[in-house]
Amino acid sequence: MIQMSNLIIVDSPHSALAIAARSRAQFQEAKIIYSSNFTSPQALCFEVSKGDFNNIFFAWRQSLYEIAKSPKLAKLLTTLRNRSSLGVLIPDYIGITGINKQREAELLEFADYYLVTNQELFEIYSNRDDCKNPAGVLHDIPNLQLIQELRGLTLQRDTRRAIWVGNSKWGRRQGFHDHKGFLQVVKPLEKIIEKHNNCFNLQVIDSSKLRVPQRKVLELIGESSYILQTSYSEGTGLPVLEGMALGTIPISTSVGIVPEVLKGSLSRNIISNSPESFHDALHLNFESPAATPLRIREIFETYTSEALTESIFNGDKVRHSPGDGFSMIKSIKSQLEWNYRFWKYH
């Protein structure tokens, strides 16, 4: 068996972070560890310390935060830092303002380097004066193997079906309300469609209520003509990429990677986060599609080919002189939240 010299740490096996990590690990040799498999930050850190990794990348930044501020792990963490490069991913906008800003700045100074998931985030963090600049952009990649399998099938696309995929409760624990635009956009859009003679079939896949296997989700996306993204902020917007990979027309607010991939004729499908805007965009695309399925897939292929040139583990970007680290403050609340995540997945 080949000894993996690179390690990626994510939250849980079914998350968008995990999907992107597994996809990238197929091209960049790396072992993946799921934090949800461990009862505490201490258990996770001890498991990591058993390996001999040159690079450790925390795709789920909370895991590094919990490890770094644990007094019990100070000595072990020092050993890890001396033998491995510690990287961290910023996949969203949570740490830009509010109570999370200072904590994230402290985390970024503690890590050897960090990456962000879209160009806007790169520009924002490059202009922050409370932390070092990001080492680069690491665009998310969906499950390419599964997408290729589904492309080989004959999926019957419904010209009247639009689909929304997400977690309507995402961010509540961090103090965000309706981060995905579910209540403000999706629910009212359902009523508008109903009043307009059920002009479209809007299918909602809400992982906060029911976890649907990824293959089934992709099949439903491939059988839909439109993939909707209604978020206020989004580090990537993985369902948009999955939809584009399958030739489904994306309609989205201007978040995540959307400004980078919805260009040319597709730029008209970048709209405001109102139910009326999405209703109008559906009718406009039904009458005159912004792009053909083939063209949409071509744009996705270009995105993917460029994303695959980006490296998680880049020797000339790591081993900065790290900051002094965190003040080691015990947090009962953090331990309780970690325990909750563990029991949620077991």
How many distinct helices (H) and strands (E) make up the chain? 14, 10
332 CB-near residues (< 8 Å, 6+ apart)? none
Q: Are residues 245 and 263 in the same domain?
A: yes
Residue 278 above 90 pLDDT?
yes
Only one residue has tokens 């499908």, namely 269
Q: Cα 278–205–34 angle (5° rounding)?
A: 125
Is residue 187 pLDDT above 90, yes or no? Answer: yes
Which of 18, 43, 102 lies closest to 335, judged by CA? 43
Do 148 and 119 share a structural domain?
no
CATH of the domain at 323: 3.40.50.2300
In a domain, residue 1? The reply is no
Q: How many domains in the chain?
A: 2
Distance between CA atoms of 206 and 178, rounded to whole angstroms? Answer: 13
For 114, the enclosing helix (H) or strand (E) is strand 113-116
Pair (253, 270) in one structural domain: yes
pLDDT band at 74; cut points 50, 70, 90: confident
189 and 122, same structural domain? no
Grade residue 75 by pLDDT with cuts at 50, 70 and 90: confident
pLDDT for 319 equals: 45
Whether residues 200 and 263 share a domain: the answer is yes
Q: How do residues 22-35 score in pLDDT, each as one tens digit?
A: 999 988 889 999 99
pLDDT for residue 100 is more than 80: yes
Residue 21: is its pLDDT beyond 80? yes
Same domain for 18 and 104, yes or no, is yes
Provide the β-strand partners of residue 203: 163
CB-neighbour burial class of residue 152 (10 A; exposed 0-12, middle 13-18, buried 19+): exposed
Per-residue pLDDT of 207-248, as tens digits, reads 888 889 999 999 999 999 999 999 988 899 999 999 999 999
* Lowest mean per-residue pLDDT among 88-92, 156-160, 336-340: 336-340
Q: Model pTM? A: 0.87
Confidence of residue 98 (pLDDT cuts 50, 70, 90): confident
Let me know whether 170 and 298 are in one domain: yes
Mean pLDDT on 169-178: 70
Question: What value does the mean pLDDT take over residues 189-212?
Answer: 94
Same structural domain for residues 131 and 275? Answer: no
- Residue 185 counted as domain residue: yes
User: Which domain does 171 fall in, by range?
Assistant: 144-303
Q: Check if the beta carbon of residue 128 is closer than 8 Å to that of residue 168.
A: no
Domain CATH code at residue 201: 3.40.50.2000
Task: Say if residue 274 is in the same domain as residue 246.
Answer: yes
What digits encode the pLDDT tens for the residues 307-336?
999 988 865 444 444 444 444 334 444 544
Rounded CA-CA distance 138/160 in Å is 35
For residues 27 and 123, membership in a common domain is answered with yes
Pick the range with the lowest mean pLDDT from 52-56, 57-61, 66-70: 66-70
Domain identity same for 214 and 243: yes
Question: Is 24 a member of any domain?
Answer: yes
Residue type at 297 in one-letter notation: R
Which position has the higher pLDDT, 318 or 251? Answer: 251
For residue 65, pLDDT beyond 50: yes
Q: What is the pLDDT of residue 4?
A: 59
- Together in a domain, 103 and 235: no
Q: What is the DSSP string of 66-132?
A: HHHT-GGGHHHHHHHHHHSEEEEEE-SSTTSSTTHHHHHHHHHHHSSEEEESSHHHHHHHHT-SSSP
